Amino acid sequence: QSNVTIYGIMDAGFVGERGGKNGNVSKVSAGVANASRIGFKGTEDLGGGLSAVFQLETGIKGDTGELDANNTLFNRQAFVGLSSKTAGTLTLGRQYTPWYNAFVQVGDPFQAGLSGSAKNLFPANGINVRNSNSVYYKSPDFSGVQAELFYGFGEQKGNSTGRQLGASIAYQNGPLNARLAYNYRNNDAASGNVVTQNQSGHNSLLAVNYDFKVAKAFFMYGANQGRNSVAYPSGSDTAYSTARVLPSTDSKNLLLGATVPVSPVGSVVVSWSSVDDKTAPNHDADQYAIGYLHSVSKRTTLYTSYGKIKNKNGASFTVGNNAESGSGDAAYNVGIRHTF
Count of residues binding a second copy (CB under 8 A)? 71
DSSP designation for 142: B
| Phi (first) and psi of residue 102, to 5 degrees | -65, -45
| For a second copy, the closer CB: 197 or 279 | 197
3-class secondary structure, 297: coil
Among the candidate windows 8-16, 119-127, 142-150, 261-269, which touches a second copy by CB under 8 A? Answer: 8-16
Interface segment toward a second copy; rule CB under 8 A; list 22-30, 118-126, 221-229, 252-260 = 22-30
d(CA 123, CA 169): 20
Q: Interaction with a second copy in 151-170: which residues (CB under 8 A)?
A: 153, 155, 157, 159
Q: Is position 5 an interface residue for a second copy (rule: CB under 8 A)? A: yes
Of 143 and 193, CB closest to a second copy: 193
Of the candidate residues 16, 18, 28, 161, the single one contacting a second copy (CB under 8 A): 28
Binding a second copy (rule: CB under 8 A), the pick from 22, 173, 279, 282 is: 22
Report the residue count for the chain.
Answer: 340
- Using the contact rule CB under 8 A, the part of the chain among 40-48, 210-218, 257-265, 283-291 near a second copy is 40-48
SS3 call for 229? coil
Nearer to a second copy, 299 or 312 (CB): 299
d(CA 284, CA 306): 20
Q: CA torsion sign, 177 to 300 to 62 to 235?
A: negative
Q: Please choose, out of 26-34, 117-125, 169-177, 196-204, the segment that lies near a second copy by the rule CB under 8 A.
A: 26-34
C-beta of 213: minimal distance to a second copy in Å? Answer: 28
Does residue number 312 form part of the binding site for a second copy (CB under 8 A)?
no
Q: How far is the CB of 214 from a second copy (least distance, A)?
A: 28
CA 69, 72, 74, 79 dihedral sign is negative
When asked if residue 336 is in the footprint of a second copy (CB under 8 A), the reply is yes
Amino acid code (one letter) for 214: V
Contact between 40 and a second copy per CB under 8 A = yes
Segment 117 to 156, residues that bind a second copy, using CB under 8 A: 132-135, 153, 155
Q: Among residue numbers 82 through 101, which ones bind a second copy (CB under 8 A)?
A: 82, 92-94
CB of residue 66 to a second copy, shortest distance in Å: 5
Alpha-carbon gap, residue 151 to 149, rounded angstroms? 7
Could you say whether residue 317 binds a second copy (CB under 8 A)?
no
Q: Give the list of residues 6+ apart from residue 44 with CB closer than 8 angstroms, or none.
A: 3, 51, 52, 53
Residues in 205-234 at the binding interface with a second copy, rule: CB under 8 A: none
Distance of alpha carbon 98 from its chain centroid, rounded? 11
Q: Count CB neighbours of 142 within 10 A.
A: 8
CB of 259 to a second copy, least distance (A): 23
**Whole-angstrom distance, CA of residue 34 vs CA of residue 60:** 11
Q: Does 50 bind a second copy (CB under 8 A)?
A: yes
Binding residues for a second copy restricted to 232-251, rule: CB under 8 A: none
DSSP for 65-117 reads TEESSTT-TT-SEEEEEEEETTTEEEEEEEEE-HHHHHIIIII-TTTT-STT-
Cα gap 58→69, rounded to integer Å: 9
8 Å CB contact between 285 and 317:
yes
Binding of residue 335 to a second copy (CB under 8 A): yes
Binding segment toward a second copy, per CB under 8 A, in 43-51, 121-129, 202-210, 256-264: 43-51
262 binds a second copy (CB under 8 A): no
